Amino acid sequence: MAGKKPTRIAVIGAGPIGLEAALRLRQLGAEVRVYEKGRIADHVRQWGHVVLFTPFAMNTTPAGILAIREENRHHVFPDPQQCISGHEFIRCYLEPLARTQWLRDCIQTNTQVVRIGRGQFLKEDLPGSRQRASGGFRLLLRQGEQELLEEADVVLDCSGTYSQHRWLGEGGIPALGEMEAQAHIRYNLDDICGSRAESYRGRTVMVIGAGYSAATAICALAELAEQDPATWTVWLTRREGPPIRRFPHDPLLERDRLAQQANRLAARGEGNVEHVPQAFVQAVEFLGQDKGFRLRARVQGKVRTWEVERLIAHVGYSPDTEIYRELQVHECYATLGPMRLAATLFSMTGDCLQAPAIGPDTLRNPEPNLYILGAKSYGRNSAFLLQTGFAQIETVLALLHQDGLISLR
Ligand SMILES: Cc1cc2nc3c(=O)[nH]c(=O)nc-3n(C[C@H](O)[C@H](O)[C@H](O)COP(=O)(O)OP(=O)(O)OC[C@H]3O[C@@H](n4cnc5c(N)ncnc54)[C@H](O)[C@@H]3O)c2cc1C
C-alpha cells in the first residue's frame, strides 16, 4: 500500500482469536491496537482449571507456533495431541504469543472498549452504504477511572461472550428474585475441586443447565462427594433423557468422556447426584450467607421447592451487543450473532466439529469494516471452536485485501 496511510485496525479482546488476528495483521504490516479489558486471555483465565476438549494442535496455528519459536527457540510446547487445561494453554501458548515482537507493543490491557460509533454518521445514516467507511470508527475506551477516545479504520470485535451470563428463569428471563440474588449465584465455572473446594465440600449444591459447563461441574461435585459424602448435588435440566448430548463416534475423546461420565452420574444417582429433568425455574431467593438459597421450579407440571447452600447456573452466555448499538449490525433474531453467519449456522447439527463452510461475504456486516469474530460471532450458539475462528481470520484478511485496506504479501 505504498504512499497510502496505513490502515488502523482495532482488535477488541486479547483472547485466543484476538491475539491470532492481531499477529496475522501485524505480520502483514498493518497498524494494530488490541484493547483488552482485563489481562491477556482474561476469559480463558476465568475457566483456566478446565481441560480443553480439543487437543493442543487444534487450538493453535502454524503462524503462532512459529512466532513463539522465533522469539525463543527453547520454548517447549505440549504434545500436539494432548488436551491441556486453560491455564496451561495460557502459559505455554497465549502469553508467549502476546510477548512476541509482533504483539508486545500493540496490546493495551486493562482497557475496556465501552462503545463504538462512526465519525460523522449516526446509526440511521446511509443504511448499509460503504460511504459510511469515510467516517472512520470512534472507540470510547475506559482504563480504570479514565475515559479516552481512539480512532480506527477497521474494527475486529473478538470480545467473546463469557462476561455476560444468561438467566435461569423459564423462557430465558430472570426467575423471580434472580436479579437480586445474582451476585451470589455462580454463573461462571468455579474450580470446584481446586481453589474453591472449601466452598462446596460437604454442601448441598444445585446445578442448572445441560451443556459441557454443567457436566464439568457435576463431575467435579461427584469427585468432592467421594471425599466427603455430605456433598449432595441436585441437577435440574429442561429436557427429558440423558442430560448431555453425545455424538456418535465422537472424535473429541475428552468431550465424550465428560458427557458419558455426567450422564452416568445422572442416571445412576452415583456421586450423590440427583437428576431432575423437565424442570423450569420460577423463583430464587437468597436467604443469607450461611443459609444459601430457596429455589422454586415447575417439574412435570408440579411445583417443587428446594433449599440449597450453593447455586450454580450454567445456562449459557450472550454477546454484549450494546458495544456496537450505534453501528449498523444485522443481528440474528435467534442467537444475537451477526445475521449472515447465524443463518448458515441454523443448519448445524449441534456438533461444533460440523461447522458449515462459509462464503467470504458471510462475515460482512451492513456496517463496512466491522467484523465480529471468534466466540462472539456465534452469538448464543455455544458450538464455536477455536479452529473455526482461525478460519474466520483468514477470510477477513482476504476481505480486507479485496477492499484495498491491507496487502496480502
Ligand atoms: C469452559 C470452556 C471450554 C471451552 N473449551 C474449548 C475447547 O476445548 N476447544 C475449543 O475450540 N473451544 C473451546 N471453547 C470455546 C471457545 O473456543 C472459547 O470460548 C475461546 O476462549 C473463544 O475465544 P475468543 O478469543 O473468541 O473469546 P474469549 O476467549 O472469550 O476472549 C475475549 C476477550 O475479550 C475481552 N473483552 C471482552 N469484552 C471486552 C471489551 N468490551 N473491551 C475489551 N476487551 C474485552 C475479554 O476479557 C477476553 O479476554 C470453550 C469455552 C468454554 C467457556
Average pLDDT over residues 18-34: 97
Helix pair 16-27, 62-71: axis angle to 10 deg? 70
Regarding pTM above 0.75, the answer is yes
Among 394, 401, 365, which residue's Cα sits nearest to residue 155?
A: 365
- Which residue from 181, 243, 170 is spatially nearest to 212, judged by alpha carbons? 243
Q: Do domains 8-162+317-402 and 170-313 have the same CATH topology?
A: yes
Q: Ligand 1: which residues within 6 Å by Cβ?
A: 12-18, 35-38, 41-44, 47, 50, 52-54, 59, 112-113, 158-160, 162-163, 189, 213, 323, 374-375, 384-386, 389
372-393 pLDDT, tens digit per residue, is: 999 999 999 998 999 999 999 9
Work out the end-to-end distance of the chain between its first and last CA atoms, rounded to an integer number of angstroms.
Answer: 11
Ligand 1 atom index nearest CA of 50: 1
What angle is formed at CA 283 by the lines to CA 277 and CA 285, rounded to 5 degrees?
A: 120
Average pLDDT of the chain to the nearest whole number: 95
**Cα separations in angstroms, 92 against 17, 56, 100:** 16, 10, 13
Domain ranges for the chain: 8-162+317-402, 170-313
Better-predicted residue by pLDDT, 344 or 173: 173
pLDDT the model gives residue 1: 46
Q: How much is the pLDDT for 28?
A: 95
pLDDT tens figures, 242-286? 999 998 888 888 899 999 999 999 999 899 999 999 999 999 999
Q: Give per-residue pLDDT as tens, 316-339.
A: 999 999 999 999 999 999 999 999
C-alpha cell at 242: 440423558
Residue 3 has pLDDT above 70, yes or no: no
CA of 240 to the centre of ligand 1 (A): 30
Handedness of CA 207, 299, 181, 272 (dihedral sign): negative
- For residue 351, the model assigns a pLDDT of 66
Q: In a mutational test of the pocket of ligand 1, which residue from 11, 34, 36 has the highest number of ligand atoms less than 8 Å from its CB? A: 36
Q: Which residue has the cell 461444533?
A: 352
* Residue 2 confidence (pLDDT): 46
d(Cα 94, Cα 89) in Å, to the nearest integer? 6
Q: Specify the DSSP class assigned to residue 321.
A: -
Regarding beta strands 232-236 and 204-208, do their DSSP bridges make them parallel or antiparallel, or are they unpaired?
parallel
Out of 267-271, 303-307, 398-402, least confident range: 267-271
d(CA 124, CA 127): 6
Say if domain 170-313 classifies as CATH 3.50.50.60: yes
Question: Alpha-carbon distance 19 to 64, whole Å?
Answer: 9
Give the tens place of pLDDT for each residue, 117-174.
999 999 999 999 999 999 999 999 999 999 999 999 999 999 999 999 999 999 999 9
**CATH fold group of domain 8-162+317-402:** FAD/NAD(P)-binding domain (3.50.50)
